[in-house]
A = this chain, B = another copy of it.
Amino acid sequence: MPLRPTDAEHIRHLSFFRASTDATFDKAIAGGFLQKFPAGTTLLMEGDTVDFLYILLEGSVELGAGWKSKDTTLAILRPVSTFILAAVVLDADALMTAVTLERSEILMVPGESLRRAMKEDAEFCFAVSEELSGCYRGLVRSIKNHKLRDSTERLANYLLTQRARQGGKIEIVLPHEKRVLASLLGMTPENLSRAFLKLQAQGVTVDGARVRLEKVTALERLARPSPLIDNHFAQPRNELGKAHTERQKGLLDGKGSA
């Protein structure tokens, strides 16, 4: 369905649109539309031509990739997040598959509209560049996480990140199925179970999706979270699940507000 004025007004202040003028905004979303998808819908397969920029407004989306009968999860997005922005800017094929994990509401903006708006409005184009840069840095963090830490350390840091995101309480709730989490962390579901067992020594107890962190300092001693890898302070706002406003100057400690 085409975009209703009330939806447009809502979107007007999200993501990089905040930096745009009204005229540029209209140009950028020209031809865009809102769509709802049920859980499990494949929005885009890797290798597909990319015609739209996607902006997740409700629900959640998994970005993944496969090779030789293996599959892995690269990121899990929550609102408000853009995705496949880089492919849109380059008018190139998708490198990732996008699948809804829940019923989701997604704004689809024609790539051509976005590119035209970028080329005509430097302010807006710069805002998109900032978004791209944030996504890029999210990926750098992800690679460091995978190349420098083993699976138990990745889990420990994931738990601490969730703790920070969920308000620092003693108990957190895993936002996804464990099999999805395992894939995101680059391990098998079996090994995720075993990694949770190992973290019992650091005061981690699991009950379904509820995880209690009884000895945070012990967990931190093992996890050694780093502002150069983890991003506890990010809004869940952009492509690869990491920071949008990269505000880490002077942040050395794992505690902070949302």
Contacts and interface: CB of A to CB of B under 8 A. Distances in A.
Interface of A: 46-47, 49, 65-68, 70, 72, 74, 85-87, 89-93, 95-96, 115, 118-123, 125-126, 128-130, 132-137, 139-144, 146-149, 186, 224, 226-229, 242, 244-246, 248-249, 257-258
A143 B144 contact: no
Given A67-B149, A118-B125, A132-B132, 10 more contacts: A65-B148, A65-B228, A74-B140, A74-B143, A86-B133, A89-B126, A90-B137, A132-B136, A143-B143, A146-B147
A144 B95 contact: yes
A129 B137 contact: no
A35 B186 CA distance: 41
Contact of A72 (B87, B132, B148): B148
Given A93-B249, A143-B143, A68 B122 contact: no
Contacts of A139: 136, 139-140, 143
Contacts of A47: 227-228
A89 B245 CA distance: 11
Contacts of A115: 126
A143 B140 contact: no
A119 B126 contact: yes
Nearest to A145: B67
A129 B140 contact: no
A242 B90 CA distance: 9
Contacts of A258: 136-137, 140
A224 B67 contact: yes
Nearest to A63: B140
Given A67-B148, A72-B147, A126-B119, A46 B93 contact: no
Nearest to A149: B67
B92 A129 contact: no
9 contacts: A86-B136, A91-B242, A95-B228, A128-B129, A139-B139, A139-B140, A140-B258, A142-B143, A146-B147
Nearest to A89: B133
Contacts of A93: 228, 248-249
